[in-house]
């Protein structure tokens, strides 16, 4: 949840959501905000034929508030973790970043566990980061 104190860190942010929204027809922004079911629907329907993608430009602020209230902020930065997952996920760098070295090396040696682990991480990444931030 947003705090009146600007020094208190939140888990997700709006600028990152809009950056991912540019690729929103793939569902990237929905996965980022912890909505894997609709992210998957957006992926397979190209953002529900572009209409849902356009509507999402107005929904991102509320998705950000929901994500902030659901996931724990902490030393692991969600933005960095999501960028690593998106661009280096098959190599396991994102898992190493949050301290999961064994599975990170496994992802490196198996191409994200033959891409199935990579897809799994898209569905569960926010929960994994939140758990790591809680300790």
Which tens digit of pLDDT belongs to each residue from 88-101? Answer: 999 999 999 999 99
What is the rounded average pLDDT for all residues in the chain?
A: 92
Give the domain ranges of the chain. 14-70, 78-134
Backbone angles phi, psi at 117, to 5 degrees: -65, -35
Structure tokens at 13: 């942010």
User: In the structure, what pLDDT confidence band is assigned to residue 8 with cuts at 50, 70 and 90?
Assistant: low
pLDDT digits (tens, 9 = 90+) for 38-86: 999 999 999 999 999 999 999 999 999 999 999 999 999 999 999 999 9
Query: CA-to-CA distance for 34 and 38, rounded, in angstroms?
Result: 9
Q: How far is CA 19 from the centre of its chain?
A: 12
Stretch 24-32: mean pLDDT, rounded? 90
Residue 5 has pLDDT above 80, yes or no: no
Stretch 95-113: mean pLDDT, rounded? 97
DSSP states of 55-111? HHHHHHHHHHHHHHHHS--SSS-HHHHHHHHHHHGGGTHHHHHTT-HHHHHHHHHHH
Q: Kindly report the pTM of this predicted structure.
A: 0.87
């Amino acid at each position: 949840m947003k705090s009146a104190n600007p020094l208190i860190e939140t888990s997700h942010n709006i600028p990152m959501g809009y950056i991912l929204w540019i690729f929103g027809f793939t569902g990237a922004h929905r996965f980022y905000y912890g909505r894997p079911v609709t992210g998957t629907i957006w992926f397979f329907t190209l953002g529900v034929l572009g209409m849902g993608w356009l509507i999402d430009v107005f929904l991102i602020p509320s998705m950000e508030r929901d994500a902030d209230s659901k996931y724990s902020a902490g030393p692991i930065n969600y933005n960095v973790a999501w960028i690593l997952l998106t661009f280096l996920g098959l190599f396991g760098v994102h898992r190493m970043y949050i301290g999961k070295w064994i599975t990170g090396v496994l992802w490196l040696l198996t191409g994200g566990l033959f891409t199935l682990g990579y897809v799994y991480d898209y569905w569960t990444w926010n929960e994994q980061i939140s758990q790591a931030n809680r300790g």
